[in-house]
Amino acid sequence: MAVYGSPLYVYSRHDIERNWLEFDQAFGQHPHLVCYAVKANSNLAVLNTLAKIGSGFDIVSQGELERVLAAGGQANRCVFSGVAKTKQEIKRALEVGVRCFNVESASELDRIEAIAKSLNTQAPISIRVNPNVDAKTHPYISTGLKENKFGVDIDDAMDLYQRAQDSEYLNVQGLDCHIGSQITEVSPFLDALDKVLTLVEQLNKNGIEITHLDLGGGVGIVYDDERTIDIKAYVEAMIAKVGNIEIILEPGRAVVGNAGIFITKVEFLKQNSEHSFAIIDGAMNDLLRPSFYNAYHQVLPVNENSNGIQASWDLVGPICETGDFLAKDRDLSLSQGDYLALMSAGAYGFTMSSNYNSRPRVAEVMVDGDQHHLVRERETIQDLFYNESIING
């Protein structure tokens, strides 16, 4: 903190590598590609760390694609997901040669076909099906139910595949499905896979060959005391069902979540008859998950403080919103000036941060063995409005 200031995100290169390799190695000899979901943490140093060990990438925008390329990742190891790919995004993805488009609607299929035609090329596609299974997770991060906006109803997928098969500008490759995030049991994944495999059989009968299954991301991590999925058992259970077909996975949180922390400083302590508030320099604009999903992040003191005030503290930020809290009711001994670490903040931490209340976005640091590197500078006040202008008159 003395070097980089506060608040701050800190990531561990070693943990990112270990988490990705756990997925990769669980496959053994089975054909597979582990495509890290860039949205979880898109810092170039994170992407570069993963590119160097052979990761593929799951992207949802041209911005993410360009980040992957800038970080040394390969386009032909990228799968392009997302419900609203623009014409420009599709064109660019075709030009650089992404591995596959995960198509989420009939109109998107038409759009991809038209752009492939204009470039006189073939677009590799998978259809993202919605298997209508309950991922048993927070409703905001559940995606595999009929009520969600994602994917194509599994019962309508056959028609779309037939259309794709008949097009000279589309090349059917795979079948895709992603049912949600922070899933802590294997059974919803296996239920979804069973439905997907029934469709693969029907497709085969109609002469449509599927060469990979993209089973999405969603593996949950430990934030508190939950039990979560054993990755080896999960991968092996899937391999047992699919035969020889290649499997693509898109883990985000499970790769970077536990590999990052958010550091914040206690600015003031404020106690009234009912509540003890620790007012910290970090806020909901820096780490949105607690306010947005009521998510739990463990809080640890950076240095033990036995002379502080022992209480059950709410950690609240400087933002003018009652919902601006990072943690509630934590038994800690605190003094003004203490540093605290919010654990498991490597996924959907920095990437969901904003400039709300005109707060510069925080710095990011990566620890590599006994070295530490600044991998994103703290924004300056000038950065906040350098591209704005006033009108004359």
Enzyme catalytic residues: 320
Q: Rounded to the nearest whole angstrom, what is the least distance from the CB of residue 139 to ligand LLP in the complex?
A: 12
Whole-angstrom Cα distance, residue 173 to residue 152?
16
CA angle 329, 224, 337 (to 5 degrees): 50
Collapsing DSSP to helix, strand or coil, 377 comes out as coil
- Ordered alpha helix ranges (H), 288-340: 289-293
The alpha carbon of 248 is separated from its chain's Cα centroid by a whole number of angstroms, namely 15
Rounded least distance, CB 310 to ligand LLP, Å: 31
Report, in Å, the least distance between residue 53 CB and ligand LLP: 18
- Provide the minimum distance between the beta carbon of 296 and ligand LLP in the complex, in angstroms, as a whole number: 11
Put residue 184 in one of left, alpha, beta given phi > 0 → left and psi -120 to 50 → alpha.
alpha
**Integer Cα distance of 381 and 21 in angstroms:** 39
Identify the bridge partners of residue 300 per DSSP, sorted by sequence position.
341
Task: List CB contacts of 289: < 8 A, sequence separation 6 or more.
Answer: 295, 297, 345, 348, 349, 352
Residue 301: asked if its preceding bond is cis (omega within 30°), the reply is no
In the complex with ligand LLP, the residue whose CB is nearer, 34 or 203, is 34
Which phi and psi angles does 141 have, rounded to 5°? -120, 25
Q: Can you tell me the distance from the alpha carbon of 306 to that of 272, in angstroms, rounded to the nearest whole number?
A: 22
Tell me the C-alpha to C-alpha distance, in Å, between residue 111 and each of 12, 101, 175, 216, 235: 40, 12, 19, 23, 34
Q: Is the Cβ of residue 271 or residue 294 nearer to ligand LLP in the bound state?
A: 294
Residues that bind ligand LLP (CB under 6 A): 37, 40, 58, 81, 141, 178, 181-182, 216-219, 250-254, 289, 293, 347-348, 352
Cβ atoms of 248 and 33 closer than 8 Å: yes
Of 169 and 292, CB closest to ligand LLP:
292
Min. distance of Cβ 194 from ligand LLP in angstroms? Answer: 20
User: What does the longest C-alpha to C-alpha distance in the chain come to?
Assistant: 73
> Which of 170/254 has CB closer to ligand LLP?
254
Q: Among residues 128 and 265, whose Cβ is nearest to ligand LLP?
A: 128
Q: Look at residues 259, 226, 364 and name the one whose alpha carbon lies nearest to residue 19.
A: 259
Tell me how far, at minimum, the Cβ of 106 lies from ligand LLP, in Å. 19
Q: Please, which residue, 64 or 250, has the CB nearer to ligand LLP?
A: 250
Three-state secondary-structure class, residue 386: coil
